[in-house]
Amino acid sequence: MTDIFLILVGAILVNNFVLTQFLGLCPFMGVSGKVETAIGMSAATLFVLTLASACSYLVFHYLLVPLGLEYLRTISFIVVIAAVVSITEMVMHKTSPLLYRVLGIFLPLITSNCAVLGVALLNINQAHSFAQSIYYGFGAATGFSLVLILFSAMREKLSQCDIPEPFQGAAIAMITAGLMSLAFMGFSGMV
């Protein structure tokens, strides 16, 4: 139980993928304009990350290791992730077409979200078991969602504020992200 808790807290707060490890910054800046979109993106990433870490574990341990092909892990993980993303995309197009449209290019871009590949590779490096891999993937996605939604809420508030002209737009977003990253540094050393 403590094991699971440590993995979750570690992935969500201490080693937050966006703010501490700086993975997955593209959707973090790209889809954080509105809270609604951010929640949709978070849900999609949560699903993809958890599933992809489980699938990549299975592929690694039951296909690549027996054949002695550990060196192919990056290629095969990318293939697995792309497949999971495609399935998510199709299902979402059917069930929530508006969200599909709003997420637009960022949905297929989950494939190249380095956080997803990062989790799959880190799972192997840290020799996680199957259950641990899933928890780690879930924790990483939760951390990503947490940060993305918080950030988008802040950006929504900021869009109503009188920001000095030189800081408008991307500049204030970067400053906000930097401040958030500073805040998350406070968690380091906790686990």
Stretch touching another protein by CB under 8 A, among 7-15, 59-67, 109-117, 127-135: 59-67
Which residues in the 116-155 window bind another protein by CB under 8 A? none
**Beta carbons within 10 angstroms of residue 66's beta carbon:** 8
Stretch touching another protein by CB under 8 A, among 16-24, 79-87, 124-132, 167-175: 79-87
Minimum CB distance to another protein smaller for 22 or for 62:
62
The distance of closest approach from Cβ of residue 52 to another protein in the complex, given in angstroms and rounded to an integer, is 12
Minimum CB distance to another protein smaller for 22 or for 167:
167
> By CB under 8 A, is residue 68 in contact with another protein?
yes
Give one DSSP letter per residue of 118-148, joined into a string: HHHHHHHHTT--HHHHHHHHHHHHHHHHHHH
Pattern 19-38, another protein, x by CB under 8 A: ------------------x-
Give one DSSP letter per residue of 11-79, joined into a string: IIIIT-TTTTS--SHHHHHHS-S-HHHHHHHHHHHHHHHHHHHHHHHHHIIIIIHHHT-GGGHHHHHHH
